Structure 1
Amino acid sequence: MGRRKPSKERKAAATDSATVDLVDWLSKNPDAIDLIQEIGDALAGPVIQELDKSFGGGRPREARRQLTNHFWCDLLIAMAEAIEKLSKSLNRIPEYVTTVIMQSRQNEGRGALLDALVGLAVRTAWEPIKSMIHTAGIEELQRTCRILAVLICPAPEDHKAVQDGALLPLAQEGMLEISKERLEQVFPADWVHRLREGLGGA
């Protein structure tokens, strides 16, 4: 005989129990409380203000009423799922970067490198860069990597990967109106030179 479907009351009781467990967990993890409040404030503040401005007209409460019936929890669950996908993608970045390096070197007729050597260098470099995503943001970090690639490359004019992957996107952003010499002046004296030397001529 099949199991009986749990009643609405039993489902509610189980959910209430889970909520109590969450509150108990939060009481032991105050950093999580701060983050939850930050996201909640963003939803109740800037998000609602933007919606009121664009869709509220003279009656913002009516526009907001359309977003009841589980809209906000749907939004948060979809965000959580997207973050999970992003996290999995971030974990695959070292493998992707290793493949791109190996293909680029082969395409440009540069000396072959040992897969394990490239893989170790990429994984080790990725850890501090990954942590910067949270502080600097993805676009800023991407721009930083591009600028640094141009600065340390001994001959960007001979390096197609640097031309296509750094110079072109930076030019499209309008950044290359600033000359490389002026860009180098932003950094401490001799920093780029010392970095190149430290990287073995890059």
Structure 2
Amino acid sequence: MNAHNYGCAHAKRHECRCKLCAGTLHRWPGCLELALEPTGVKRAAFRNGIDAKWNKSNASRKQKGQVSTKSAKESATDSGLADIIDWLALHPVVTGQIEAIANVLGRNVVNELDKSLDADHRDQRRRALLDHFWCDLLAAFANVLAVFQHQIDQIPGRIANVIIVRRDHGARLPIDDADIKMAVESAWKLIRTVPFVKVALPDVEEPLRAIQMLAVMICPAPERHGEVVKYCLHPLTGEVLTVLTKQRLEAALPADWLS
């Protein structure tokens, strides 16, 4: 970390040009520092700066009759970032999860990519990686994990339907549908505690949330990256994002990013 560009690790501008880390250390170290800062003074200053930028850009937008401005979009997504940081301050264990995932990208993935190329081509590839590659990767992971979790969540209902259909066809004595569903839910809940089942069908909620948060942090400009907003920032609404941030995102960004 000491050799890395401080301005990249604590980036305030919505861009990344740091070939040293190829974008893998962009902004997230500074975000975690804010989350772990014990007094909360720096977090408050960070949020106050975002609120001031939003208010200024919102006033300018109304004055000029614009739908949204670059500054409004930036401050809307930064408002989400401030919410994430405040949430992490209350759940510091998650900062370790985020750092662990980020370190895999920086220390392992980039090194593996570098091995296959000479120095000149490495620089070329690293410049390409700066163009939203890591946040693209994380957003794709988040999307697939969310789909996977949804499919796992549907398993008890599908099992119950199979049993209900069989009993409706007279293969067994009738049992109330509600009782069947309750039995399946109870069995599923207990079966998932069996160690080898837990390995085969893990709960992805915690890694998914960490990946989503890291994607928002590491993205040079979430306001220009629809996948990061759609699969990583917007899904944090409710648990992490405040109502105010939700309103700002809805005012500043395309509606299909928030659906």
TM-score, structure 2 as length reference:
0.43
Q: State the 4+ residue runs in structure 1 displaced beyond 6 angstroms.
A: 104-107
Gaps of 5+ in 2: 1-61, 203-259
Gaps of 5+ in 1: 141-202
Shift of 1:97: 1.5
Shift of 1:25: 2.1
Name which structure has the greater RCO, CA cutoff 8 Å, separation 6+: 2
Larger Rg: 1 or 2? 1
The alignment status of 1:111 with 2:172, answered yes or no, reads: yes
Task: Give the aligned partner of residue 21 of structure 1.
Answer: 83
The answer to whether the 8 A contact 2:168-2:174 is kept is no
Q: Percent identity?
A: 32
Task: Give the aligned partner of residue 118 of structure 2.
Answer: 58
Secondary structure of 1:66's counterpart equals helix
Residue identity in the other structure for 1:58: D
Classify 1:133/1:70 alpha carbon distance in 2 versus 1 (closer, same or farther; 3 Å). farther
Classify 1:112/1:45 alpha carbon distance in 2 versus 1 (closer, same or farther; 3 Å). farther
Query: Alpha-carbon deviations, 1:63-119, whole Å to 9, x = none?
Result: 333222111112212222222222222221111122344567899x95345244432
Query: Alpha-carbon deviations, 1:128-154, whole Å to 9, x = none?
Result: 3345689842279xxxxxxxxxxxxxx
Shift of 1:124: 0.4
Quote the Cα distance in structure 2 between the aligned partners of 1:113 and 1:52.
64
What RMSD in Å do the two structures reach over aligned CA positions?
Answer: 3.5
* Equivalence map 1:139-178=2 (5 Å): none
Count of equivalent residues: 137
Structure with a larger share of its residues in helix: 1
Quote the Cα distance in structure 2 between the aligned partners of 1:132 and 1:42.
29
Say which of 98, 106, 117 aligns to 2:160. Answer: 98
Say which of 55, 75, 78 aligns to 2:140. Answer: 78
Query: Alpha-carbon deviations, 1:18-46, whole Å to 9, x = none?
Result: 32332222112102211111211222233
